Amino acid sequence: MDTLLQDSREHFRKRMLKKALVAAQIALDFARKEGSPEDVFTTCILLARIFSVNARYAMNGLFYKKAEAFLEEAESLNWVPEPEFKVRLLHAKADIKGFQVKVNEASEDLNLALAIAQKNILKEEEIKLLVSYAYLEMTAGNYEHSMQLSDQALDTFREFFDYEKNKSLAAEVYTQMAQVLVKKADYYHALEFGQLLLSISRELNDTEKEINALMVMAIVSATKANYKIAMQYFQEALVKSQNIGYQQSTVDCLINMATIYAHLYNYDDALARYNEVLENYRSQLDDASLIAIYNNVGNIYASKEEPDVAHPYFEKALILAEKNNLVPEASLAKAHLSRVCTAQGEIRKATELALEAAKSFNELGLINGSQINLLNLAELSYRQGDLDQAAELAMMGKEAAEKLLDDSSQIKAWQLLAAIFEKKGDFPKAHTYLKEFVKRSEAFSKMQLNRQFLDLEIKNALREKQKEIEQLTKENEYQALLLEKGDQIKKQNDELLQMNEDLKQFAYVASHDLKEPLRMIGSYAQIITRIYGDKLDDNAKTYFGYITEGVTRMNHLLDALLKYTTVGKSDEEFEELELNYIVDIVKVHLKVLIEESGAQITVDELPDVYSGKSLLILLMQNLLSNAIKFRKPDIPPQIHISASQNDEFVTVKVQDNGIGIAKEHLDRIFVIFQRLHARSEYEGTGIGLAICQRICQRLGGKIWVESEPGKGSSFYFSLPVHPLES
Which residues neighbour 384 within 8 Å (Cβ) at sequence distance 6 or greater?
347
CA atoms lying within 13 Å on the CB side of residue 441: 11
CB of 25 to ligand ADP, least distance (A): 25
146 lines the binding site for ligand ADP (CB under 6 A): no
Q: Does 190 bind ligand ADP (CB under 6 A)?
A: no
- DSSP assignment string, 260-310: HHHHTT-HHHHHHHHHHHHHHSGGG--HHHHHHHHHHHHHHHHHTT-HHHH
Restricted to residues 23-62, the positions that interact with ligand ADP (CB under 6 A) are none
Contacts of residue 211, defined as CB under 8 A and 6 or more positions apart, other chains included, come to 237, 240, 241, 244, 246, 249
686 sits near ligand ADP (criterion: CB under 6 A): yes
453: Cβ contacts below 8 Å, ≥ 6 apart: none
- Please answer whether residues 262 and 300 qualify as being in contact, where contact means their C-beta atoms are separated by less than 8 angstroms: yes
Beta bridge partners of residue 603, listed in sequence order: 641
Looking at beta carbons only, is 568 or 684 nearer to ligand ADP? 684
**Is position 656 an interface residue for ligand ADP (rule: CB under 6 A)?**
yes
Question: How far is the C-alpha of 233 from the C-alpha of 217, rounded, in Å?
Answer: 7
Phi/psi at 376 (5° precision): -65, -45
Closer CB to ligand ADP, residue 208 or residue 656? 656
The three state secondary structure string of 335-357 is: HHHHHHHHHHCCHHHHHHHHHHH
Window 595 to 624, contacts with ligand ADP (CB under 6 A): 622
Contact call for residues 96 and 68 (beta carbons, < 8 A):
yes
**Shortest Å distance, C-beta 661 to ligand ADP:** 5
**Is residue 261 within 8 Å of 455, Cβ to Cβ?**
yes
Residue number, 125 or 656, with CB nearest to ligand ADP: 656
> Is the Cβ–Cβ distance between 705 and 714 less than 8 Å?
yes
- Near ligand ADP by CB under 6 A, which window of 177-185, 275-283, 420-428, 658-666? 658-666
CA distance 135 to 78: 33
Residues 349-388 as x/- pattern, contact with ligand ADP by CB under 6 A: ----------------------------------------
Among 127, 401, 641, 669, binds ligand ADP (CB under 6 A): 669
User: Residue length, the chain?
Assistant: 726
Cβ-based nearer residue to ligand ADP, 369 or 658: 658
Rule CB under 6 A: say whether 689 interacts with ligand ADP: yes
Of 676, 714, 669, 712, nearest to 692 by C-alpha is 669
| 630: contact with ligand ADP by CB under 6 A | yes
> Minimum distance between the CB of residue 716 and ligand ADP, rounded to whole angstroms?
12
**80 or 678: whose CB is closer to ligand ADP?**
678
DSSP designation for 162: -
The window from 310-318, 340-348, 612-620, 654-662 that contacts ligand ADP (CB under 6 A) reads: 654-662
For ligand ADP, the closer of residues 98 and 688 by Cβ is 688
Nearer to ligand ADP, 83 or 684 (CB): 684
Q: Minimum CB separation from ligand ADP for residue 90, in Å? A: 45
With 0-12 / 13-18 / 19 or more C-beta atoms within 10 angstroms meaning exposed / middle / buried, residue 604 is middle
Cα–Cα dist 190/220, whole Å: 7
The single residue among 675, 694, 699, 703 that binds ligand ADP, judged by CB under 6 A, is: 675
Which residue has the CB atom at the shortest distance from ligand ADP?
Answer: 684
Interaction between residue 291 and ligand ADP (CB under 6 A): no
Strand-pair partners of 707: 713
Question: What SS3 class is residue 393?
Answer: helix
Q: Does the protein bind ligand ADP through residue 655 (CB under 6 A)?
A: no
Q: Which of 462/624 has CB closer to ligand ADP?
A: 624
Taking the C-alpha atoms of residue 304 and residue 302, their distance in angstroms, rounded to an integer, is 5
Q: Shortest distance, CB of residue 587 to ligand ADP, whole angstroms?
A: 17
Interface stretch with ligand ADP, choices 184-192, 413-421, 571-579, 659-667 (CB under 6 A): 659-667
Nearer to ligand ADP, 42 or 713 (CB): 713
Of 6, 11, 132, the C-alpha closest to 483 is: 11
Ramachandran category for residue 225: left, alpha or beta (phi over 0 → left; psi -120 to 50 → alpha): left
Distance CA 620, CA 689 (A): 11
Residue from 463, 677, 711, 722 touching ligand ADP (CB under 6 A): that is 677
* Shortest separation between residue 112's beta carbon and ligand ADP, angstroms: 51
At its nearest, how many Å lie between ligand ADP and the CB of residue 658?
4
**Binding segment for ligand ADP among 83-91, 357-365, 406-414, 685-693 (CB under 6 A)?**
685-693
- Using CB under 6 A as the binding rule, whether residue 330 contacts ligand ADP is answered as no
Q: Find the shortest distance in angstroms from Cβ 705 to ligand ADP.
A: 8
Q: How many residues bind ligand ADP (CB under 6 A)?
A: 21
Smallest distance, ligand ADP to C-beta of residue 565, A:
15
Task: Tell me which of 277, 483, 659, 695 binds ligand ADP, using CB under 6 A.
Answer: 659
116 backbone dihedrals φ, ψ, rounded to 5°: -65, -45
Binding ligand ADP (rule: CB under 6 A), the pick from 197, 688, 694, 717 is: 688
Q: Of 713, 716, 717, 719, which one interacts with ligand ADP (CB under 6 A)? A: 713
Per 3-state DSSP, the chain is made up of helix, strand and coil in percentages (nearest 5) of: 75, 5, 20
Q: Does the footprint of ligand ADP cover residue 626 (CB under 6 A)?
A: yes
Cβ neighbours of 421 (radius 10 Å): 22
The smaller minimum CB distance to ligand ADP, of residues 150 and 566, is found at: 566
Q: What angle do CA 436, 439, 443 make, to 5 degrees?
A: 135
Taking CB under 6 A as the rule, does residue 676 contact ligand ADP?
yes
Q: How far apart are CA 22 and CA 4, in angstroms?
A: 9
End-to-end Cα, the chain, rounded Å: 43
Coil, strand or helix at 441: helix
627 binds ligand ADP (CB under 6 A): yes
Closest distance to ligand ADP from the beta carbon of 550 (Å): 18
For ligand ADP, which is the closer residue by CB, 20 or 691? 691
- What is the closest distance, in whole angstroms, from the C-beta atom of residue 295 to ligand ADP in the complex? 57
Q: Does residue 657 bind ligand ADP (CB under 6 A)? A: no
What is d(CA 386, CA 389) in angstroms, rounded to the nearest whole number?
6
Question: Per CB under 6 A, which region of 8-16, 57-65, 303-311, 678-686 contacts ligand ADP?
Answer: 678-686
CB 274 within 8 A of CB 255: yes
Q: Is residue 661 close enough to count as binding ligand ADP by CB under 6 A?
A: yes
Shortest Cβ distance from residue 670 to ligand ADP (Å)? 7
Under rule CB under 6 A, residue 562 binds ligand ADP: no
Binding-site member from 684, 700, 720, 723 for ligand ADP (CB under 6 A): 684
Task: Find all residues with CB under 8 Å of 539, minimum gap 6, and list them.
Answer: 532
Instruction: Assess 307 for contact with ligand ADP (CB under 6 A).
Output: no
Angstrom distance (rounded) from CA 75 to CA 85: 10
**Binding stretches for ligand ADP (CB under 6 A):** 622, 626-627, 630, 656, 658-661, 669, 675-677, 684-690, 713
